[in-house]
Structure 1
Amino acid sequence: MTRHEPSTTQGKTGVRDVSQVDRAFECLEAEAAGPDRQTQYARGALAGYLWALGRGEPAPITAQSSDGAPAMEVLMAEADAATVQIQDSTQRTVPRDYLQGVHDALAWVCGHTDDKPLAL
């Protein structure tokens, strides 16, 4: 399992506590650890979580760079970019399942859903 340094500042990522997003990342990473469990969906969700925590560069869909954890409006814009690519295959730059994973992770981080992504 890959270890990523926990945030030294407590606070929020989207509407969630940083510790909640850390736990969600760690749980999904553990679920997806097996060779048959590492799906494009799980990869996308993990990338979304890392980026939301300010530990992944660049943004998983738009490749936009940011300094640290992105603000709520930037998180929502990235989720919207995933939605556009999911709905329009001519806009896709990565597999659809990866896009869905990023979208679902960011939707949870932003408080648009209470359902966290699970390894599929």
Structure 2
Amino acid sequence: MKKITAFLLSLLMLLGVFAPVTATTVQAKSTKNIKVTYTLKKNKKQLAKKTITLKKNATVTDGLKKGWKVTDKGGFISAIDGHKQNNKKKIYWTFTVNGKQVNVSADKKKLHNKDKVVFKLSKYNG
């Protein structure tokens, strides 16, 4: 009986009956992670650039903290790797995702695969 079961299993594998299951499993695993590129700038000078691998549905803050030492409060970033904001001089960290200004805090903004996040430390002219 064991020989017949093994033979049938081998035959089914040869015919490709199990192939779709394997392909689906591999595909599901690969979609659990995303890659996001972060760029840090001080005025117009680039300080750093890294591509970070994150879990799906990660936030901007998740990736930032994975790549650098970060000080934040309530989702607002006040220092990255020792580069601090200066409230008196109106110098702040701001960020964009895919070139667009974001209207939520960094801990609320969800990321997608191949997103590009740019953090910029500069004077606010508002």
- Length-normalised TM-score, structure 2: 0.25
Greater relative contact order (CA < 8 Å, ≥ 6 in sequence): 1
Q: Greater share of strand residues, 1 or 2?
A: 2
- Length-normalised TM-score, structure 1: 0.26
Say which one has the larger Rg.
2
Q: Greater share of helix residues, 1 or 2?
A: 1
